[in-house]
Amino acid sequence: MTKLKVNNLSSKYSFIIFITITIGILGFYFNLQYFWSMDKHPVTIAVSKTPLSTPFYVAKSINSFDETCVEVEYTEVKGGQIAFEKVMNGDVDFGTSSDSVIAFKSLTKQKFVTHAMFVQSDNDVKLITRSSDRVTSVTELKGKRVGVTKGTASEYLLSTLLAIEGLTMEHVKLSHYMPDKLIHGFSNNEVDAIVAWEPFVFESLQLLGDQIKIHNTKSLSTLSFNLISPTADNQLVEKAKCVIQGLQTAINYIVSHPKESKKIVIDALKLDPAFIDWVWPDYIFKLGLNQSLILNINSQAIWIMETQMSEFNEIPNSERFIDSRALLQVEPGSVNIPL
Amino acid sequence: MKLSLHHQIYFFTISSCLLFVVLVISILWSTQVIDVASKREQYANMIEGHTNTLKQFITRENIYANNYNAKKWLALEKKFEELLQRVPHLTPQQHTIQNSIESQNRNVIRLFNAINESKLKNANEIIKKHLKIRLLTQLEAIRSDSMQLSTIAQKDIKDIIRNQIIFVLSILALVIFTLVYGAFNVVRIIKTSLKEVKSAFEKNHSGNFQKIQLSNQSEEFNSIAQAFNAMNKKLSSTTVSLASMKKIVEERTHELEQLSNTDPLTKIANRRALFERGHYEFSRARRTKSPLALIMVDCDLFKNINDEFGHLFGDEALKNLCNVCSKEIRNIDFFARYGGEEFIIILPDSELSGAIQTASRIQRSLARNSTKFEGNEVCVTVSIGICAFSDKHNTFEQLINDADKAMYQAKNNGRDRIEIIENDL
């Protein structure tokens, strides 16, 4: 009798042990990485106050950094150029900058790297003229006063538009403004045209309505926003990996929950919902680090140099400004650059 | 709820079948998913191939030349657009890449058309080169995206295969565990229950009617145990074991023997028993040359007692006499009713003197213990004849005869006395 009881007990115990081991293995398998990455690093990021930074706002809102190794704090700045300066001054660990800013800065021999591109738009920077001037073609800008933000996508788009028509920057009278001061200059009649990016184009439309004409420049310039940092050591790459992990979660959320994501950006940047509806179709949120980014930065840099937009005259090696180590750990499929 | 054995077996079989069906469904499902992923990969590869062709056209030819035939490139681009329309079903992430490809392609077309319209007549070589590089960069972006699409599809296929292997192995492990556990459990129940049933049958065989107590409950064995226990209950109430039967027979035989050797009135040995024992003691004395004495006791004037006080009193008087005699004789002595009011005491290993002492004790005790009945108290006396075994005695009957003679002598000599037959007289 006792023997049978022992048999019963041992079979029950073996069953319990089997279940425990199975759960243990599964738990170990799924949570190992999570437990190993429990050590949290504090990280500050200079985030440009534009809907292009949507992945950062969504990441914060859905707490997608919680399961990564970083504890993130944002410093909101007006434009990628200021974000870049903050990164180089050591005020922040990371920043968000457009490829144009990267191209301009690559000429300055400053030591920085791009870890990942997280959004692209083919219609973020636009040319605005006065309706009364009845400008229909870029050729008509010849001799006119044009306001741009120096060393940014704004300046680059203008040069491209002029180039297509066989013109150079010398054919126009350039005025440099901070991005948020462009409308001011335009409405004060200091310039005849401005090249601005969102949300300033939308603000101009709201403010001046029929008085302005927004030219269709869609597809003529591609603008991407990227995560940059000073030249990275292993620890910074580790932090970049965790930031990218958070961004990846956020981007997946944006792709599957566009409505909710729009609301998050509207609330975070206190924007008009109509504005988000206006720019949203132009945005493509995805992680990437590919050959075209290098080519883009490179060609922009050469262009900037050759058109004397910058005082530097040495062709940079763009590959120096790309660090794929972090993104390779998070989403290797998104990295497509020759090693 | 306790499942019966056959239910358990059904349960294990059906569970295993269900798990097998799950396996088949999951394999079919993954085949389907892999098929979709393969289509995506194929699609991505086609885009990459087409983009490379478009790039080659731009790299090889001078797009700014006046005689450049843009139609060929545009026809190729149109084909590419058609290819982008034949997009297979994509995941949200892949759809984003598809959007990116479409957007980059629009950029390519817009830029190409812009260049092709004006031919950049006013532009210098630097501008021409820059815009050509931009076109190539856009196409490179498409190629990068298509490669990413392909990588995702490949990763999906790998993930599906890996997950499927893990799933199949887990299900198989579960099936094997379930079967082994179930088989061991059923075998254990059958084995222990059979052992218990067998042991109950064996106990039954030896007449030990015990209930089957099953340590593992199962419907089948419970019903066997129930039937067995019911049968056992009936058997135990109607069947007597051989041993107990023997005991009963021995007891009854003993009782009957006692009855046949006992005098019903006085409850002492009767005449039959007397002769049986007498012959035995006589033979023994003769064989072992050991002494043997015989006392014959006769109630004096018993007829008068009966006449005067009634037969019932007579019976009581005899009972009283027997009581007295039984108390005064030794353990090895044998006291029996010879007939009427005559009694004989056989005294093995006793000389004549010993017999005389016993007889005297009886006489004295009888004098002290009168018979009391319905208010009457009557003192009964006895005439005692004693003889001892000697060579002249050839049978026990001869010995009795001598004792009888001695007793009559006592009667004749005035009753309430002891007479002896001396052997040498």
A218/B110 touch (CB, cutoff 8 Å), yes or no: yes
- Tell me the chain B residues in contact with residue A306 when contact means C-beta distances shorter than 8 Å: 126, 130
pLDDT of residue B278 exceeding 60, the answer is yes
User: In percent, how much of chain B has pLDDT > 70?
Assistant: 96
pLDDT confidence of residue A9: 56
In this structure, the number of other CB atoms found within 10 A of the CB of residue A315 comes to 13
CATH number of the domain residue B56 falls in: 1.20.120
Mutate to test the interface with B, among A292, A293, A315 (most CBs of B within 10 A): A292
pLDDT confidence of residue A34: 55
Does residue A57 or residue B122 have the better pLDDT?
Answer: A57
> What average pLDDT score do residues B82-97 get?
86
Count how many pairs of residues, chain A against chain B, have C-beta atoms within 8 Å.
118
Nearest to B155 among A251, A288, A333 (CB): A333
**A280–chain B Cβ distance below 8 A for any pair:** no
Whole-angstrom CA distances from A299 to A74, A89, A338 are 31, 27, 17
Mind giving me the DSSP string for B313-346?
HHHHHHHHHHHHHHHHS-TT-EEEEEETTEEEEE
**A167–chain B Cβ distance below 8 A for any pair:** yes
Residues A238-272: pLDDT tens digits?
A: 999 999 999 999 999 998 899 999 999 999 988 88
CA dihedral A276, B146, A98, A168 (to 10 degrees): -100
| CA dist., res. B297 & res. B415, Å (int) | 11
Q: How confident is the model at residue B425 (pLDDT cuts 50, 70, 90)?
A: very low
pLDDT of residue B1 exceeding 70, the answer is no
Mutate to test the interface with A, among B94, B140, B169 (most CBs of A within 10 A): B140
Q: Which of B160, B183, B206 is the last residue of a domain?
A: B183
CATH number of the domain residue B386 falls in: 3.30.70.270
Nearest to A286 among B97, B109, B120 (CB): B97
Task: List strand residue ranges (DSSP E) for A36-111, in order.
Answer: 41-48, 70-77, 94-98
Q: How confident is the model at residue A1 (pLDDT cuts 50, 70, 90)?
A: very low
Query: How distant is the Cα of A240 from the closest Cα of chain B, in angstroms?
Result: 21
Nearest to A164 among B118, B137, B145 (CB): B118
Q: Are B34 and B160 in contact (CB under 8 A)?
A: yes
Let me know whether B59 and B153 are in one domain.
yes
- Residue B207 inside a domain? The answer is no
Locate all alpha helices (DSSP H) within B206-241, ordered by sequence.
219-238
Look at domain A41-121+222-336 and name its CATH class: alpha beta
Q: How confident is the model at residue B6 (pLDDT cuts 50, 70, 90)?
A: confident
Q: Which of B183, B206, B230 is the last residue of a domain?
A: B183
Q: Which of B183, B210, B226 is the last residue of a domain?
A: B183
Let me know whether B22 and B128 are in one domain.
yes
**B93–chain A Cβ distance below 8 A for any pair:** yes
- Tell me the chain B residues in contact with residue A283 when contact means C-beta distances shorter than 8 Å: none
pLDDT of residue A46 exceeding 80, the answer is yes
Q: Strand A145-148 vs strand A193-197: parallel, antiparallel, or unpaired?
A: parallel
Q: How confident is the model at residue B349 (pLDDT cuts 50, 70, 90)?
A: very high
SS3 B241: coil
pLDDT of residue B205 exceeding 80, the answer is no
Distance of CA A213 to the CA centre of its chain: 27
Sheet architecture: strand order including A193-197: A173-176, A145-148, A193-197, A125-130, A212-214
A166/B215 touch (CB, cutoff 8 Å), yes or no: no
Scanning B184-203 for CB atoms below 8 A from A yields: 184-185, 188, 192
Please report, for chain A, the start and end positions of each structural domain, with discontinuous segments joined by +: 1-36, 41-121+222-336, 125-214
ipTM above 0.90, yes or no: no
> What average pLDDT score do residues A65-93 get?
90
**A171–chain B Cβ distance below 8 A for any pair:** no
Q: Which two tokens stand for residue A165?
A: 């028509």
Name beta bridge partners: A283. Answer: A121
| CA dist., res. B251 & res. A76, Å (int) | 115
- Residue B202 inside a domain? The answer is no
In which element (H, E) is residue B206 found?
Answer: none
Domain that holds residue B372: 249-421
- Residue B390 inside a domain? The answer is yes
**B369–chain A Cβ distance below 8 A for any pair:** no
Half-sphere exposure of B86 (CA within 13 A, CB side): 11
pLDDT confidence of residue A38: 59
| CA dist., res. B353 & res. B289, Å (int) | 17
| CA dist., res. A176 & res. A170, Å (int) | 14
Q: How confident is the model at residue A12 (pLDDT cuts 50, 70, 90)?
A: low
- Tell me the chain A residues in contact with residue B106 when contact means C-beta distances shorter than 8 Å: 122, 218-219
Phi, psi of A178 (to 5 degrees): -70, 150
Smallest CA–CA distance from A306 into chain B, residue: B126
Let me know whether B149 and B35 are in one domain.
yes
Let me know whether B54 and B165 are in one domain.
yes
Nearest to B130 among A284, A299, A333 (CB): A299
pLDDT of residue A35 exceeding 70, the answer is no
How many domains does the structure of chain B reveal? 2
Closest Cα to residue A290, out of B45, B127, B97, B53? B97
pLDDT of residue B415 exceeding 50, the answer is yes
Residues B292-312: pLDDT tens digits?
A: 999 999 999 999 988 988 888
SS3 A31: helix
Residues B160-186: pLDDT tens digits?
A: 889 888 888 888 888 888 888 888 888
**B121–chain A Cβ distance below 8 A for any pair:** yes
Let me know whether B36 and B153 are in one domain.
yes
Let me know whether B258 and B389 are in one domain.
yes
> What average pLDDT score do residues B202-212 get?
77
| CA dist., res. B123 & res. B64, Å (int) | 10
Nearest to B177 among A5, A18, A120 (CB): A18
pLDDT of residue B68 exceeding 60, the answer is yes
pLDDT of residue A308 exceeding 70, the answer is no
The domain made up of A125-214 has a fold known as D-Maltodextrin-Binding Protein; domain 2 (3.40.190)
Q: In sequence order, what are the residues at sequence separation of 6 or more whose Cβ sits closer than 8 angstroms to the Cβ of residue A312?
A: A107, A108, A109, A305
Query: b vs e for A87-125, b when ≥16 Cβ sit within 10 Å of the residue's Cβ?
Result: bbeeebbbbbbbbbbbbbbbbeeeebbbbbbbbbbbbbb
pLDDT of residue A150 exceeding 60, the answer is yes
Query: b vs e for B338-360, b when ≥16 Cβ sit within 10 Å of the residue's Cβ?
Result: beebbbbbbbbbbebebbbebbe
> What average pLDDT score do residues A50-72 get?
91
Scanning A222-261 for CB atoms below 8 A from B yields: 222, 251-252, 255-256
Let me know whether B55 and B174 are in one domain.
yes
Does residue A11 or residue A154 have the better pLDDT?
Answer: A154
Q: How confident is the model at residue A193 (pLDDT cuts 50, 70, 90)?
A: very high
Residues A17-29: pLDDT tens digits?
A: 777 887 777 766 6
pLDDT confidence of residue A306: 74
Phi, psi of A201 (to 5 degrees): -65, -45
Q: How confident is the model at residue A11 (pLDDT cuts 50, 70, 90)?
A: low
Nearest to A122 among B103, B120, B121 (CB): B103
B106/A218 touch (CB, cutoff 8 Å), yes or no: yes
pLDDT confidence of residue A95: 94
pLDDT of residue B104 exceeding 90, the answer is no
Query: How distant is the Cα of A294 from the closest Cα of chain B, in angstroms?
Result: 9
Model pTM? Answer: 0.63
A160/B134 touch (CB, cutoff 8 Å), yes or no: yes
B151/A333 touch (CB, cutoff 8 Å), yes or no: yes
pLDDT confidence of residue B168: 86
Scanning B62-91 for CB atoms below 8 A from A yields: none
- Residue B216 inside a domain? The answer is no
Q: Strand B376-378 vs strand B334-339: parallel, antiparallel, or unpaired?
A: unpaired
Angle between helices B311-328 and B352-368 (to 10 degrees): 130
